[in-house]
Structure 1
C-alpha cells in the first residue's frame, strides 16, 4: 500500500534534516515516487516553511555553514567504506569502531570491490540506509584514480572524513577533512635506521598500487638522493602484481616477486626496505632460499607492520599508527556530527600522524 502524501512529506523532512541537502531526483528514487510528485511535495513543504528549495535540490532550514545535521542519538549509524582485501586498513577499522561504539553510534561497514565506482556505490547504499556520516578510504589504485572520485565525494550531503588518503593540492577534495599517516616520515625512519647502521647501498622493493605505496616510493627517492652517506640506491617493484594495473588473466596472474637477490648483487646493496609486509616476508624467504642470509648478508626493514613480526625472522618494521588513524577519523567525524546548530563553521582538518620504528633485529651493522 502506497504511503499517504502526509507520511511521505514527513519522511522528506526527516531525510533533509539529517543530510542537510538532497538532490530531488535522488530523493524521488529513494522514496519510489516520480520526480514530479516529489517536486510538488517539496513546493508544499517550502510554502509551510519546513524546507528550502534550490536548483534541483531540497535543503534543510538550518544555517548553511557546513554539512549540519540533527544531533546524534543512540542507534544512529555511520558508514565506513574500505576496499576489499586490505588488512592494513582493517586495523584502522578497529580504531574507528571503538570510538563510535563508545559514543553509542553504530558503525555500518561497507566493502568496496576493486572495480571502478565501487566506493560511490557503497556510499549511496550507506546513505540510503540512513548513515549520518561517512568514513572513506578509497582504493585509488592509480595516480589518476582520485580525479574520478572528486565530484561525488565533494558533493556528499553528510559529513565525511577520508582515511589514509590525502587529495592533491587544489583539487575539489583539498577542503575535505582527512586523517592519514605521514609516510614521508616513515621512509625517513627506515633510511635513518639503515644509514645509522652503516649501510650505504640500499634497495627499496615496494608496491605501486596505492597512495601509500606511491608516497613511500617518492619519499625514499627524495631522501636517499639528498643523503650524502648513501652511495647507491634504487627502487624496484616488489612484484608484477603490485603494479597499478595487475597482469591480465593468462599472463601469470600470481606473478612472482622481483628477484631481489639479483638486484642486491647487481647494486652491491647490503640493505633493503620492503613494502608491504606480506611481500616482505615472501622476499625474505626468497633470499634465504637463494642462500642470502638475513640479516647477516642483507639487513631488512619492512613497511606497514601488519604481519612483519610473525615471520621466521621477525622483521624490523616501520609501523604507521593504523588504529589511531581510525580513532582520529571517527573522532573528527563525531565532532562534525555533534556541531551545535548555527555555530560558526569550523576549519577543515587535515591531520597527519607519525609512524614509529619497531626494531626486531632484522637489520644489523654493515660489515
Structure 2
C-alpha cells in the first residue's frame, strides 16, 4: 500500500482518496483552492495536487481554473455531458460465499449500480487472520476507496483486527457486526440486523401459541448466536418464564454421531422440564433438529414447536419451519448507501450506525397443532 500524506499525521502521506476528500472539503468551505496553498497545507508536491484536481475535474466534481480549482459552474462546458466509469471502488470481504452472505452481496451490488460504485468481493473465513489477509490483498491490488467487511471479532486477534480496521485511512463499514464497547472504534460505521429483537419476536410468537416453557438451541461459534441468546433471555424475563428452569444448549462443532446424542439429551431435558417449544439458531440446525424429532417419534408441532433463525433453508424441512428472516439484502444495500454518503461528504459527516429489524416467517412447525405433553407423545 502506498502512502503519501499530511503534516498532521506525522509526515506520513495521505492516500489519494484522502487528499481528494480534503480538496473537496476546502472547496466546499471556501469555494476555490489554489494548487500552491493546498500543496503546502497537505505537505505534498504541487504536481500531486494538480493530478488530484485533474481527476476530480474528469469526474465532474470541480472546475479547473488557472493555478487551482473551483466548485463546478454551469458555465464550465468541459464537464457537461461527460460519461465516466465507476466513481469509486469498494472492497467487500465476507466470511462465506455459500450461506447467508450471497444475499448480502446481491443487495450491495444492486445498490452499487445505483450509486455508480464498483464492488470487489473477496471470500474469507470466520477467522480474524484470514479476514486481515483478504482486506490487505484488496488494499494492495485493487486501489479501493472504501471497505465493507464482516470481520471475526472473537478473542484478542479479533479485537486487534478491529483496531487495525479503525486505523485504516479509508472508510470502513462493518456488515452484520458491531464493535464491542471495549474497543474505541470511533471511526467505524456499521449496519447490522437486530438479532436480539428477532429472537424476542420468536419467543413471543411461541408464547402466543400457548407455550409456557421455551428453550433455546444455539451455536456458540457463530457471531449471531450471542445476540439471539440475549434476545431470548430478555423476552423470557419479560414474559416471566423462569430462566433457571429453561433449556439453553450449545450445538457447536458436533458431527453427525455426536449431534444425534446431543439432540437426544436436548429432548430428555425438554421432557424433564415440560418444554414444548424451541428457538434454534441456525435454521440448518433447526432442520436437523426437526428431522431428529421425527425420527424419535416427537410430533412437530404437536409435541414440540420449533422456530429457526436465518431462514436460508427452513422452508425445505418437513414440516416447513417457521424462521426469523434477517433483511440480508438490505444489509448490503444500506452498507453501500452509508459508504456512498461517506465518500461524498467526507469527514464532515457524522458516524452512522444502523440497526435493521428482521421479520418472522410463520410456517407449519410452530402453529396449528394441539399441545401434547412430551411424555404422552413418547
Q: TM-score range by the shorter chain?
A: 0.7 to 0.9
How far off is 1:206 after superposition? 0.7
Q: Label 1:48 to 1:176 Cα distance change in 2 as closer, same or farther (>3 A).
A: closer
How far off is 1:311 after superposition? 1.4
Distance in 2, Cα, partners of 1:277 & 1:355: 14
Contact 1:168–1:174 (8 Å) recurs in 2? no
2:308 counterpart SS class: strand
- CA deviations 1:124-152 (Å, max 9, x no partner) are 11122111111101133x36554121221
1:211 counterpart SS class: coil
Aligned-residue CA RMSD in angstroms?
A: 3.2
Matched length: 307
Contact 1:167–1:174 (8 Å) recurs in 2? no
**What residue number does 1:206 align with?**
218
Q: Which has the higher helix share?
A: 2
How far off is 1:284 after superposition? 0.6
Which consecutive segments of 4 or more residues in structure 1 shift more than 6 A?
A: 45-48
The structure 2 residue matched to 1:292, chosen from 290, 295, 298, is: 298
Distance in 1, Cα, partners of 2:38 & 2:353: 40
Distance in 2, Cα, partners of 1:323 & 1:118: 24
Contact 1:300–1:363 (8 Å) recurs in 2? yes
| 1:134 maps onto 2:165 in alignment | no
Q: TM-score, normalised by structure 2?
A: 0.73
Summarize the alignment of residues 1-367 of structure 1 with structure 2, pairs less than 5 Å apart: 16-20=15-19, 49=39, 52-53=42-43, 74-75=85-86, 76-84=88-96, 87-128=99-140, 129-140=142-153, 142=154, 146-228=158-240, 232-237=245-250, 239-241=251-253, 255-256=258-259, 258-259=262-263, 260-339=266-345, 345-364=348-367, 367=371
Between Structure 1 and Structure 2, whose CA radius of gyration is higher?
A: 2
How far off is 1:84 after superposition? 3.0
2:111 counterpart SS class: helix
Distance in 1, Cα, partners of 2:234 & 2:134: 37
**What residue number does 2:25 align with?**
none
Distance in 2, Cα, partners of 1:180 & 1:20: 30
**What residue number does 1:37 align with?**
none
Contact 2:129–2:157 (8 Å) recurs in 1? no
**What residue number does 2:376 align with?**
none
| Structure showing greater relative contact order (alpha-carbon pairs closer than 8 Å, 6 or more residues apart) | 1
How far off is 1:295 after superposition? 0.8
Contact 2:107–2:331 (8 Å) recurs in 1? yes
